[in-house]
């Protein structure tokens, strides 16, 4: 049940929805199988002061390029996977959002008490992984005040057996900054949470049965429509889904207000001033179409954001975690 209603749908079950789309009908839902085509995620925040939010969930400014030769070509990574640092070390990763192979990645480790490590690579399929790396290079630097990664000169990273290498090109990548005006709601786009992979479908049947297919796993529920909402019944649990007909697409939308006691976590994720975030609303949307996407099924993997401010306070408890980048299922 957790996999069905949390991981795959992102908990899009809520009683609040101001959508102006057409309410769904039984005939609309049962006319065909609905395939997940798109997800949209954003966060509307209000602060008590003028400042800049560091939106690690959006495509960063710039890019780090890797020349893998004629077989692969040049790949540019534009998204941060994670950022984790304190006064003695920096650990960060870059990723290329996507569901299909090949899958590309980059990691940078810098410690004041040991050598630096740089690694990158790609995965062509479920069984092939190519890794390149080098130790003790000063060409790459991460500015923790700007969240900016800089490659000052071209650098070649060899494979472990030195039979091949990849060229990391000179360039930089900086986290997207968003200007926030005091006491004015601002919606921050978070495409990193939107990546959609195929093989998730909803089959509303006339006999009040809903069959959800996720990565060849089937879940069967009971369903009906009550006051413009879809009611789903699974064993002893009941959920209500706000759904609408948006240009012949099935659309779920939810506005989820963050508990005031949890605003400090959002502040750290966005690198906001401590105590400045007064409200936050997560806006989530799922859009289903009549055609299946030709992508591999995937589940999200942990996406870590840890800023210097507040690290000591949470280090004894647990990491700040968000779900975002895609990890392929074998």
Instruction: Read off the pLDDT of each residue in 106-113 and give the average, rounded to a whole number.
Output: 88
Q: How far apart are the first and last CA of the chain?
A: 21
Q: Report which of 210, 213, 184 is spatially closest to residue 200, judged by C-alpha positions.
A: 213
Report the pLDDT averaged over residues 264-280: 93
Residue 127 pLDDT exceeds 80: no
In the chain, the percentage of residues whose pLDDT exceeds 90 is 41
User: In residues, how long is the chain?
Assistant: 330
pLDDT level of residue 219 (50, 70, 90 thresholds):
confident
Q: Whole-angstrom Cα distance, residue 76 to residue 212?
A: 36
Name the average pLDDT for the chain.
79
- Bridge-based pairing of strands 34-47 and 61-62 is unpaired
Q: Are 166 and 156 in contact (CB under 8 A)?
A: yes
* Strand pairing class (79-85; 298-306): parallel
SS3 133: strand
Residue-level pLDDT at 317: 26
Between CA 122 and CA 299 the distance in angstroms is: 19
Mean pLDDT of 181-197: 83
């Amino acid at each position: 049940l957790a996999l069905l209603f949390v991981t795959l749908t992102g908990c899009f079950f809520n009683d609040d929805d101001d959508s102006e789309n057409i309410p769904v009908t039984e005939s609309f839902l049962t006319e065909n199988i609905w395939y997940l085509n798109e997800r949209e995620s954003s966060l509307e925040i209000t602060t008590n002061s003028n400042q800049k939010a560091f939106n690690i969930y959006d495509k960063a400014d710039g890019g780090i390029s890797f020349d893998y030769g004629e077989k692969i070509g040049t790949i540019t990574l534009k998204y941060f996977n994670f950022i984790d640092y304190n006064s003695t070390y920096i650990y960060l990763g870059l990723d290329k959002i996507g569901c299909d192979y090949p899958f590309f990645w980059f990691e940078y480790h810098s410690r004041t008490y040991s050598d630096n490590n740089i690694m990158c690579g790609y995965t062509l399929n479920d069984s092939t992984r190519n890794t390149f790396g080098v130790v003790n290079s000063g060409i790459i630097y991460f500015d923790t005040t700007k969240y900016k990664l800089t490659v000052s000169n071209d650098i070649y990273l060899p494979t472990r057996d030195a039979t091949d290498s990849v060229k990391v090109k000179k360039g930089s990548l900086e986290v997207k900054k968003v200007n926030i005006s005091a006491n004015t709601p601002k919606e921050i786009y978070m495409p990193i949470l939107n990546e959609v992979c195929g093989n998730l479908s909803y089959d509303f049947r006339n006999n009040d049965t809903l069959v959800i297919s996720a990565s060849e796993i089937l879940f069967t529920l009971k369903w009906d429509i009550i006051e413009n909402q879809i009611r789903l019944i699974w064993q002893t649990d009941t959920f209500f889904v706000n759904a609408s007909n948006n240009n012949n697409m099935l659309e779920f939308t939810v506005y989820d207000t963050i508990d005031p006691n949890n605003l400090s976590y959002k502040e750290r994720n966005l690198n906001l001033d401590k105590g400045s975030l007064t409200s936050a609303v997560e806006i989530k949307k799922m859009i289903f179409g009549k055609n299946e996407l030709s992508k591999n099924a995937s589940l999200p993997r942990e996406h870590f954001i840890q800023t210097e401010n507040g690290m000591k306070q949470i280090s004894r408890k647990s990491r700040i975690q968000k779900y975002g980048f895609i990890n392929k299922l074998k």
